[in-house]
Structure 1
């Protein structure tokens, strides 16, 4: 009988604790933004982003998008969220936000900015902080992001030639083209240095055929000259050398050979 009473007391105590915990867990979480106007939400989100509080800013922008649904401010919130992720070095989240914006608002007057931001996200993702720290330029990195950045900028310029973002997009496109050409030459030089002369010729010819007026084409021609010479293909060597002298009469490559790579050739934006 005493054992039974003791067990009942224990069970009652456990039930009391469970009810207490249950009561604590059901306490409603107060949303401090509940009474905020859409304009206040937007202002606070902007201030949080400017202060470097990107996660907080993105959260406020999500709330704004829901409360201002169907209005221009909701569209602005979507774009600002993409920009916030971009500033937070979160390219995947930024691109996802831009995908959603472009899908939902294909005729938005802010589409030029969306395309410009898409180009920027991929442009900076390709360059990257660690690339700069390692003195590694875009030509030595994977080119997928660079090509996607180029396509976004090209669409912007094609669809919105009068956009205020078009001049900067055009300058970045030139940089990307030079980078892609330099990438081909970088690979060609790599093959040449390891005695893979046919592979070096293929990559150098790829740069010459796909890109026009890029600075890297001078070295591409020099790689052709050296590779043909190494293979004993004198006629092709002489042809390539004749083209190189005509195109770059003051080229230092023919006199000094490959340049020592001390500093990156690229401009940091």
Structure 2
């Protein structure tokens, strides 16, 4: 990605924008009306360097609106994606990513855009407070994790040699375990309600779709107990054999 050094005019623009950070959208348009594309871009880069991503996003958005097809347009959109992401604005981030990919399907940085889409959706599935308090909420809807998994898979499939592919692969492993934990949480919910058929089906789903995760033992144990409650001796025996073979220390093995 091309980097531009701040200029004196850019610094003046930063000062003006900072002073008017509480201005309305109309006032912002007045402030930026007489600024050239390069000057606005330099101001945005300066804000990014200083960690003021909200201000950078505001400037980049104004620049993108005024010069949508200029020589800086692609880099402006890429920086806007990152600034929105760092500002904690997932909806704006996703919208900007989707527009960039749709309008520039052959651009050299599409892999970066897809990677950022995955990161954004992955972050959307986290709860900082629950993480800090060590609260397990694996039963929460993993819709955003599924989207993130699809984003990373698309990146790896379309751009296997991308510099982001290795990290995307690691994140997919993490997400698969998250999805498997969700299935186990729902299976245990069914167990408490004595809905043993539904619980066993959830356990089998984990075995079939997430066989390389940490939740396989729990899935097998749920299947053993569910089949036992249902009186399905053959299915129980098969699940128990698999459990003994792979997890001989399981408390379900007597």
Q: If the TM-score is normalised by the length of the shorter chain, which range does it land in?
A: 0.7 to 0.9
Give aligned pairs, total.
228
Q: Could you give the per-residue CA deviations for residues 134-168 of structure 1, whole angstroms, max 9, x where no partner exists? A: 53457322111111111111111111111111110
Aligned with 2:72: secondary structure? helix
Q: Name the TM-score, length of structure 1 as normaliser.
A: 0.76
Asked if the contact 1:127/1:138 (under 8 Å) is kept, the reply is no
Q: What residue in structure 2 maps to residue 169 of structure 1?
A: 168
| Cα shift at 1:37 | 4.3
Q: What residue in structure 1 maps to residue 141 of structure 2?
A: 142
| Cα shift at 1:47 | 3.1
Matched, 1:48 2:61: no
Q: What residue in structure 2 maps to residue 157 of structure 1?
A: 156
Q: Could you give the per-residue CA deviations for residues 175-197 of structure 1, whole angstroms, max 9, x where no partner exists? A: 11111112111111121123221
| Root-mean-square deviation (Å) | 2.4
Asked if the contact 2:40/2:63 (under 8 Å) is kept, the reply is yes
- Which structure 1 segments of 5+ residues have no match? 1-27, 257-269
Closer, same or farther in 2 for the Cα pair 1:245/1:172, shift >3 Å?
A: same
| Cα shift at 1:67 | 4.8
Matches within 5 A, 1:5-154: 31-71=30-70, 73-133=72-132, 135-137=134-136, 139-154=138-153
Question: d(CA) in 2 for partners of 1:215 and 1:175?
Answer: 10
Question: d(CA) in 2 for partners of 1:131 and 1:75?
Answer: 37
Aligned with 1:107: secondary structure? coil
Question: d(CA) in 2 for partners of 1:29 and 1:81?
Answer: 17
Question: d(CA) in 1 for partners of 2:182 and 2:71?
Answer: 42
Matched, 1:188 2:195: no
Closer, same or farther in 2 for the Cα pair 1:119/1:195, shift >3 Å?
A: same
Aligned with 1:140: secondary structure? coil
Aligned with 1:161: secondary structure? coil
- Which structure 2 segments of 5+ residues have no match? 1-26
Larger Rg over CA atoms: 1
Asked if the contact 1:204/1:224 (under 8 Å) is kept, the reply is yes
Question: d(CA) in 2 for partners of 1:148 and 1:29?
Answer: 35
Question: d(CA) in 1 for partners of 2:51 and 2:140?
Answer: 29
Question: d(CA) in 2 for partners of 1:130 and 1:162?
Answer: 36
Closer, same or farther in 2 for the Cα pair 1:72/1:110, shift >3 Å?
A: farther
Closer, same or farther in 2 for the Cα pair 1:207/1:31, shift >3 Å?
A: same
